[in-house]
């Protein structure tokens, strides 16, 4: 049997130890990042109450109300595309995650009711601040119609459509370069 040089043995053990430690750290970092990654469902449950219209009984929806709403038939929760759509008697909500190039996402919330739709773009990193006026072309929401506009958030892609009183699309708003830009008018 050949004798092993203790220096080589020590160096080999150090290399193996470093590799195992680095591998464990890498797995730990991946686990932590996965925990921190929020889904559209997480954002819906954590939105401040003022962004979610009141229940038919006239009160704000709390977290339990929202959890129950997510379990209602017809509700769509598409985690992979960052899209959520609730069902309701008089109102429903659509929520979409728009990813910015270097920071956390914008969250777009469309509340669609019998008297027209409304949109809010919020920044979860800035304590859920409403930044709609800074990033969204507000002229697209103006209408001569008493019923307001109809807003459709995208389940896939980055284009929001806005129509007025009929199914004909009047505006297309594309999320591009960290802003929402009018790309087509009809």
Give 17-72 as a DSSP string: HHHHHHHHHHHHHHHHHHHHPPPHHHHHHHS-GGGSPPPTTSS---HHHHHHHHTS
Overall domain count for the chain: 2
> What is the share, in percent, of the chain residues with pLDDT greater than 90?
35
Q: Could you tell me if 116 and 76 lie in one domain?
A: yes
* Greater pLDDT, 142 or 27: 142
Q: Could you tell me if 17 and 63 lie in one domain?
A: no
Q: Could you tell me if 92 and 117 lie in one domain?
A: yes
pLDDT value for 101: 86
Give the contacts of 41 (CB within 8 A, at least 6 positions apart). Answer: 70, 77, 79, 84
Q: Could you tell me if 125 and 46 lie in one domain?
A: yes
39 near 79, Cβ under 8 Å?
yes
pLDDT value for 26: 46
**Most distant pair of Cα atoms in the chain: their distance:** 94
Task: Tell me the residue range of the domain where 20 lies.
Answer: 1-37
- Count other Cβ atoms within 10 Å, centred on residue 130: 15
Please give the mean pLDDT across all residues of the chain.
80
Query: Can you name the residues that pair with 109 across neighbouring β-strands?
Result: 95, 120
Q: Could you tell me if 10 and 63 lie in one domain?
A: no
Q: Could you tell me if 20 and 79 lie in one domain?
A: no
Residue among 124, 110, 153, 100 at smallest CA distance from 42: 124
User: Looking at the predicted structure, is the pLDDT value of residue 186 above 70?
Assistant: no
pLDDT class of 10 with cuts at 50, 70, 90: low
Q: Could you tell me if 32 and 93 lie in one domain?
A: no
**Alpha carbons within 13 A on the beta-carbon side of 142:** 3
- Count other Cβ atoms within 10 Å, centred on residue 31: 10
User: Looking at the predicted structure, is the pLDDT value of residue 35 above 60?
Assistant: no
Q: Could you tell me if 98 and 179 lie in one domain?
A: yes
Q: Could you tell me if 119 and 48 lie in one domain?
A: yes
Classify strands 159-163 and 179-185 as parallel, antiparallel or unpaired. Answer: unpaired
Q: Which whole number is the average pLDDT over 76-105?
A: 89
- Tokens representing 105 are 């996402």
Q: Could you tell me if 51 and 101 lie in one domain?
A: yes
Q: Could you tell me if 18 and 89 lie in one domain?
A: no
pLDDT value for 177: 86
Q: Could you tell me if 84 and 133 lie in one domain?
A: yes
pLDDT value for 62: 82
């Amino acid at each position: 049997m050949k004798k092993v040089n203790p220096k080589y043995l020590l160096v080999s053990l150090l290399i193996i130890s470093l590799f195992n430690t680095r591998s464990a750290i890498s797995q730990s970092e991946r686990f932590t990042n996965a925990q921190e990654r929020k889904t559209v469902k997480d954002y819906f449950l954590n939105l401040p109450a003022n962004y979610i219209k009141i229940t038919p009984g006239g009160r704000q929806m709390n977290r339990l109300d929202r959890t129950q709403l997510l379990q209602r038939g017809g509700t769509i929760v598409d985690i992979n595309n960052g899209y959520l759509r609730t069902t309701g008697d008089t109102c429903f909500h659509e929520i979409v995650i728009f990813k910015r190039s270097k920071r956390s996402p914008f969250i777009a919330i469309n509340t669609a009711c019998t008297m027209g739709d409304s949109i809010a773009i919020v920044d979860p990193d800035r304590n859920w601040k409403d930044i709609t006026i800074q990033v969204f072309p507000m002229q697209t929401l103006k209408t001569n119609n008493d019923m307001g506009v109809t807003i459709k958030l995208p389940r896939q892609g980055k284009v929001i459509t806005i129509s007025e009183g009929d199914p004909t699309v009047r505006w297309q708003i594309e999320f591009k370069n960290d802003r929402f830009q009018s790309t087509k008018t009809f």
